[in-house]
Amino acid sequence: MSSTTIGSGRASTTSGLDAVLDRANSAQAVVQRFLARAGQPALRISLGLVFVVFGALKFLPGASPVEDLVGRTWSVLSFGMIDGFAALAITGALEVFVGLTFVTGIFLRIGLLALAATFVGIFSPLVFFTGEMFATAGPTLTAQYILKDVVLVAAAMVVGAVALKRPIGRR
């Protein structure tokens, strides 16, 4: 049995260190099981709440910082057929629907599909309005608002991976 001097100046045996490591590994396993069990539902619900809140803001005039951008993006995507309040209403309804499917877990697969379509709209201004999104100093505040949604995409991928494990069919 070998010994090691520890911070207090006392000698510690390797078997004592092994016991500490075993306890640390046991504690880590408990934390890991909790995170594995609670993490994905927490991510799904928090992502849903983000979409419910940001979607609801679209129904309140002047509340969403991207009102004008939403209207102009819809106008481009719909070849001028949809803009203004109609664009905000459609976007808000879609975001609230997605959020509710994530919060409740009901119709989650449909919500994931709707979210994929939503992300197309969310990132479209980076393509359609590139000149407005990036200045010589880098991305504008609006572009930063859009680019942070990359995190939402990653979160949605985790939620989707778990939701799509179950086969399609009757329960």
Domain boundaries, the chain: 39-163
pLDDT (tens digit, 9 = 90+) per residue, 44-86? 999 999 999 999 999 999 999 899 999 999 999 999 999 899 9
CA 90 remoteness from chain centre:
21
The backbone region for 153, taken as left when phi is positive above 0, alpha when psi lies in -120 to 50, beta otherwise, is: alpha
pLDDT (tens digit, 9 = 90+) per residue, 111-168? 999 999 999 999 999 999 999 999 999 999 999 999 999 999 999 999 999 999 888 8
pLDDT (tens digit, 9 = 90+) per residue, 97-109? 999 999 999 999 9
pLDDT band at 16; cut points 50, 70, 90: confident
Q: Higher model confidence: residue 62 or residue 11? A: 62
pLDDT exceeds cutoff 90 at 171: no
Task: Specify the 3-state DSSP secondary structure of 13.
Answer: strand
